[in-house]
Structure 1
Amino acid sequence: MTTAFEAHEAPAALPAAGDLLAAYRPSPSGAFLAGPTGTLLARGVDRAVTDPATATALLRDLGPDSTGVVIGAIPFAPGRPARLFVPTDLRRAGPVAEDPFFEPAAPAPADRIWRQTPVPAPQVYADAVAEAVRLLAEDPELAKVVLARTLELSTPGGADLPAMLHRLIHRDPSGYTFAVPAGGDATLVGASPELLVSRRGRAVVSNPLAGSAARCGDLAEDLRRAAALLESPKDLAEHAFVVDAVRRALAPYCDDLVVPERPTLLRTAAMWHLSTTVTGTLRDPGTSALDLALALHPTPAVCGTPTDRARELIAELEPFDRDLYTGVVGWGDARGDGEWVVTLRCAEAEGDRLRLYAGAGVVAASDPAAELAETGAKFRTFLHAVGLENAS
């Protein structure tokens, strides 16, 4: 089947994924996306879009034969400006896995010293989780809230973002690696494991993740953790909230929705995740991938249940602005096809600073120390990319 990455060029004309990564340079008018279905490099801004609803209308106006796409990121909070744009130049390539010349990334410089500042402090985060657990016990309608924390890294000269992207891709080659403008001179860079939604013709796929366990270097212990996650009542309940929300959000748009009864395991270099792949057939071909992404966002995996109450608690208990973290990042084309992922395992890079984000789903059975440890494990994706193994 012809993919959206191939639709406007013969496959033989496509450059290699490594060529696009080598050509990427961070800028307010450049973006790089790599995933299991292909690679995109966007340069130049034909039109900036701050309202996602405007983006869907703009793509429809371009017409189904247009080669135009919209690319970028949508924030977590409603009403905040999106960082979307229609590029003047777009290059496509196949997946990294199909590039035989995509060589392993060079290790991060061993002599680079990073100053680390957690926001909030670890104990403050654990206390916030404990407060959320208390409120969950008091409010029968509140089922889950996702609480996040950040880790500020700084070093003279900042991070080498193309090199970091290279390491992130090799660490989790089946994930979704991205670098998109985040406003001003900032860049949102990350390697998300979670597909919010993709649309290819009338085929719709969503892959919600919820319920996690840290990986372990010891094989026997790693497998034990994976098996325990598959049987964990707390994690299975957390996962069920998310899958049910995805099913309900897609049902008005799709026929033949297939929702497996039990989750499987998805493995990244740092984490095991409970994973369910939901598939369906689009009812109205005029519904775009971005329309579906906006209908799904935010899922309980990044916010909580019910959404409005969870958002209130996040604002009360998190001492920072999430901005694009736990938003949506990806692309959509004029025919309505596209791929949008949840903005996880990400950082905002600007100047000497790199702000890392990680969160955990809090339910009534949550243990504050365990949720703190989970966020620490999720930081490892980026710590490895800059040459650090653990947060100080």
Structure 2
Amino acid sequence: MASNGSTFAVLVLFSLLVSSNAAGLQPAIGTTFNVLNYGAKPGGRIESTQAFVRAWAEACNFPGKARLLIPPGIYKLGETIFQGPCKSRIPITILLQGTLQAVSDASSYTGKGWISLDEVNGVTLTGGGTIDALGQNLWQYNDCKTNPDCVHLPATIYMTKVTNAKIKSIKLVNSMGFHMHITRSYLITIHSLSITAPAESPNTDGMHISQSNGVKVARSVIKTGDDCISIGQGSTNVTLNQITCGPGHGISVGSLGKRPNEGDVAGLIVSNCTLVGTTNGIRIKTYAASDPSRASGMLFKDIIMNNVKNPIIIDQNYGSNAQKPSQVKISDVIYQNIRGTTLSPVAVDLSCSSTVPCQNVRLHNINLQFIGNEKITSTCTNAKVGYSGLQIPPPC
């Protein structure tokens, strides 16, 4: 028989548990925050933005392991911000099983993103669901081809000041602007994504990475109307592996040098990728008349080009203002084991700056066959290039 002291201790513990549940507290492990419990309405007709924000706020403020659950169904959302920092040191899981659809009203978006992650340290987005921005309803308002000062439509996912994040096994469809924009972030791992928009859709980059360190993207299929992945200023230690790209504009470093005092790009590896029917293959593009900066330490290897218009291209005269040369210095670039077919007789086009010529560009085992009757060629301007192994087209 229990002593009076033991009985008292058990009663105290039971009393604490009852009072905790009465106060709405949950156990510290594996707590699920279901958006349906916060007023989300599946069906795609009633907007559920505030329900999602409330569910995230509780998950973010929970001190233990938390999961934000979005069950099967269609949910209509306007501008939605998942704001950090959060209390727990354990990454929050966003389990997306349903489909998110955007409100198709440009005036509903005041920021750079439709769904934003801001100052979050530790988050995983997964679940096999779909994020559909319904961009086709707003692309008519994109005037960036004719207006250099245009305001971009919001990105489907906009991540800023995010650390230790994983995004995997979801589908992104028909973004308004970029499908994903990652900036000022650290240690981001992305894989097993499907990103899709029509070839004619404007500025629907699959992913744009800027001012970020330690971003890895792998095993994804990207079909858009612009760059599959673009690496912007200030990006370091970025790895792209097993990306299937096309249609679109290819994989690009840049545009660099558009704005004053941009950060350097350094430490890029692009490997085991396949580009199908893209405008460009591997492209480095910098604006003429830019401020000084650097793009260096880049390796492009084991890449297949299938009917690509410009397989290997450096363009340092990008943009409309070509009165002064670009001051973005490109150096230490390796192209290795690049093979396939080109739609242009100029399969390698290295057009570098006269002010800061490209330094230490190396091509090893290049085998690009032209689909046509003209002789396949290379062009090099203001570039110091080294060659080894097979070279088709022949060196400059």
TM-score, reference length from structure 2: 0.24
- Structure ranking higher in helix proportion: 1
- Structure ranking higher in strand proportion: 2
Q: Which has the higher contact order (CA 8 A, sep 6+)?
A: 1
